[in-house]
Amino acid sequence: FSRPDVAMVPQRAALGMGRGAYFPRAFSRPDVAMVPQRAALGMGRGALGGSVHSAAMYRPRRIVLIRHGQSAGNIDEEAYTTTPDWRIPLTAHGRAEAQGAGRKLRALLEERSGARAYFYHSPYLRCQDTLDAIISQLNPECIIGTREEPRISEQQFGNLQSTAVTQKSKAERNHFGRFYYRFPSGESALDVYNRVSSFIATIYRDVEQMRGVGVLTPETHIVIVSHGLAARAFIMRWFQLTVGDFELLSNQPNGSLLVMELHTDAMGNQWYELTHDSWKLLNADGCIDLKCIRVGGKPGEMRHLVRPQNVLPSVCGLAPPSPPTELDG
């Protein structure tokens, strides 16, 4: 694969340097296996999981997934009939939610002395504006840089969308299955899963590059500002969940944070766990028995979700449920 020379591009406008990043860009590597628990020795486990054999082998302290604030399309689907999805703006309430997300992130960073964050964000306007609102709540010294990442864009539902066609498609999706259903002229969740998998490989490489130039520390945070479905696909890929598990997950609320914490055992093995509060955010429909979660990032552990016995399959998208109220974005 090829990588450009270490040419830097500007930081975001909120830091006085425009949109973009000032860390070397890199391209995805199709030859790198994208499993978060690869061996730490030799050519085994990658940058974000494995055993600690030297003080220089830092992993990011946390990986944080933030859904954009409320958008005009979240409250009025007619917006999609006149405005391209990627240009749908935040509402005033959505801007407030984004600022709130910034304050929550600031609190997370302040828990760790010397914590700094590197941001990836979807190119969609609502995610760009969410990122700007988040950055407005942070100390500029805490920001390593930012990068626009098209692979974490919203699921494609088609171009300018007819409300009637969209409603019909969403009803079909809930009958067919949310993971495999493909919107007319759009994508399936499987398509989003595939591009998010490729993006995870890029995170590995970027972490290695940050380590190589001395940017990475034990308190580095990776922050991803994206969409509801993209975040669920990320969680599914990272923790190697099944398609059935995906069907149990709900979108996290607008402006909320899913937090993956780094854990280390006595042998020095490291892995990530999604916090209990984060699982609650993914359980809006009550489809996950939070007392019986069998999902963890530790190598060798069995991973699956459990549906509560008193919750009907139809509630969890396992049979035709009631009509949905919004698109995933």
CA dihedral (20, 21, 27, 33) in degrees, to 10, reads: -120
Distances from the Cα of 285 to the Cαs of 146, 176, 222, 228, in angstroms? Answer: 33, 18, 28, 14
Structure tokens at 157: 């539902």
Which residue in 154, 187, 247, 273 is the catalytic one?
A: 154
Neighbours of 219 (CB within 10 A): 18
Structure-block tokens of residue 211 = 């380590």
**Residue of 68, 121, 221, 227 with catalytic role:** 68
The answer to whether 68 is a known catalytic residue is yes
Burial 155-169 (b: 16+ CB within 10 A, else e): bbbbeebeeeebeeb
The DSSP bridge partners found for residue 272 are 262
- Please, what's the largest Cα pairwise distance for the chain? 58
User: Known catalytic residue: 304?
Assistant: no
Beta-strand runs (E) in the chain: 50-51, 62-67, 116-121, 143-148, 220-226, 257-264, 269-274
44, two tokens: 């085994």
Positions marked catalytic: 68, 154
